[in-house]
Amino acid sequence: MRVTIDVGTGDGRAVLATAARDPSTLVLGIDASAAAMAVASRRAAGPARKGGLENARFVLAAAEAVPADLAGRADLVTVLFPWGSLLRGCVGRDEAVARGLIALVAPSGALELMLAPADRDGLGGMPTTTHSIVEATAPAFDAEGFQLVVAREATPAEVAATGSSWARRLGATRSTGAHGVNDANRRVATLIRLARR
Binding region for other proteins (CB under 8 A): 108, 130-132, 134-135, 138-139, 147-153, 179-181, 195, 197
Min dist CB 166 to other proteins, Å, is 22
Nearer to other proteins, 107 or 124 (CB): 107
Min dist CB 22 to other proteins, Å, is 17
Rounded CA-CA distance 196/194 in Å is: 7
Nearer to other proteins, 22 or 54 (CB): 22
Rg of the Cα trace of the chain? 16
Rounded CA-CA distance 99/182 in Å is: 32
Rounded CA-CA distance 154/18 in Å is: 17
Nearer to other proteins, 74 or 133 (CB): 133
Min dist CB 144 to other proteins, Å, is 14
C-alpha angle with apex 165: 27 to 120, nearest 5 degrees? 125
Min dist CB 36 to other proteins, Å, is 32
Nearer to other proteins, 120 or 131 (CB): 131
Rounded CA-CA distance 98/193 in Å is: 14
Rounded CA-CA distance 116/191 in Å is: 9
Three-state secondary-structure class, residue 59: strand
Nearer to other proteins, 31 or 112 (CB): 112
Min dist CB 129 to other proteins, Å, is 9
